[in-house]
Amino acid sequence: MTLRCITDDLTAGWDTPRAQRSAHALSDLLARHARGSASDADVGAFLRAVPALDRLEHPLIRAFSERDELVESLRAESVETTAGPVATFAAGGWRGTVLLQADLESGHDVAWLVAAHPDGASAGSDLDPGEIPQDSDELIARIERAAERREDWKTALDRTTRALLAETLATGDAGPVPVVVPAEGRAPLFDLTLSLEGADGDEPAQVIVVIAPRESAPEATVSVGTRTVLAAIAADAVAWTAAPVAGHAMSYAATIPVPSSMAPPADPAPGRMAVGSLAHYAPTAGLTEATLSGSPVQALCGHWFVPMHDHVTRPTCERCAALRDTLS
């Protein structure tokens, strides 16, 4: 659906005003993006923080969110306009205008909710130029498609990691396996290797994960992939210790109970990890960059950890605190 339709046409009928405010805030952000004062990453971060446009709390939007079935029924009723096939539907006292456009990437029609008005109000037979999807709408759609691809990639990486873990539990090691970037071209991102130490029957075993980034691999994507791999094995972040190995590779170790190691995590979302229970002190050099990128740093106590923004809510590591006091 177009953002203009949400902000300009749907002026009433909202379940809560919060949803409409989110749409107006997004519109302001996209205006800054058009002026060059906001980036694609800014828009992506905003879209991750709010409900998807087709999930906003309005009766017409709820009806449109079922558009897989809606498109099939509207296609037979559509009329040709200068912008393409157009059809209308009614829901919740509103009438929406849907524009069907061919998507060259998927080969399927894409339905855009481009205009809306209270049911019974008069509407033109053709679309105004401002009602046709704009560059900002295409930007939102592109970012949302990229997010969907990344979630699909995380799901596939989660399954790959579980398969490698099963092989490791059976043979003692697995890999290296190349992990590719979640985008067209499928360039290698990092090599993933698993090994096992201390396995003895049903006793807990230590799993060693080595992630070796390829040259020029995007650091942020490597961090996402690393979190996804580790969460597939042990979702509790405090269970993992990290240390650098050869080159830019990192080694991660966690002790897992072998009988339950293949059980699904409590949180089924791939890549979701519980944050550590302690807050550590670390040298300030490079700490900001590590916090933003999700890279591990070494604490004063020697523990390797990934710094989190919400460290103030956690108790402080006593060893780190003592060492910090001696350095003050």
Three-point CA angle 42, 48, 51, nearest 5°: 125
Q: Would you list the domain boundaries of the chain?
A: 3-133, 155-274, 275-328
For the chain, 328 residues long, give each residue's pLDDT as a single digit of tens.
Answer: 899 999 999 988 888 888 888 889 999 999 999 999 998 888 888 888 888 888 888 999 888 887 666 666 666 677 777 777 888 888 889 988 888 877 666 556 788 888 998 887 766 556 777 888 888 888 888 888 888 888 888 888 888 888 888 888 888 888 888 888 766 556 788 999 999 886 565 567 789 999 999 988 888 889 989 999 998 888 776 678 888 988 889 999 988 776 444 444 444 445 444 445 567 788 776 666 665 555 666 777 776 666 655 565 567 888 788 877 776 5
Structure tokens given for 294: 């999700």
Alpha carbon distances (Å) from 108 to 75, 88, 104, 111: 12, 19, 7, 10
C-alpha torsion angle, residues 281, 287, 292, 297 (rounded to 10) = -70
What does the pLDDT read at residue 262? Answer: 43
The one-letter amino acid at 157: L
Q: Is the pTM of this model over 0.85?
A: no
What single-letter amino acid sits at 201? Answer: G
Task: Round to whole Å and give the CA distance between 167 and 113.
Answer: 48
Determine whether 240 is exposed, middle or buried from the number of CB atoms within 10 Å of its CB (0-12, 13-18, 19+): buried
Residues 98/87, Cβ–Cβ less than 8 Å:
yes
Alpha carbon of residue 92 to chain centroid:
32
Structure confidence at residue 68 (pLDDT):
62
Strand partners, 95: 90, 117
Instruction: Report the distance separating Cα 270 and Cα 267, nearest Å.
Output: 8
Q: Cis bond leading into 176, ω under 30°?
A: yes
Residue whose token pair is 């990934």: 306
Confidence (pLDDT) at 210: 94
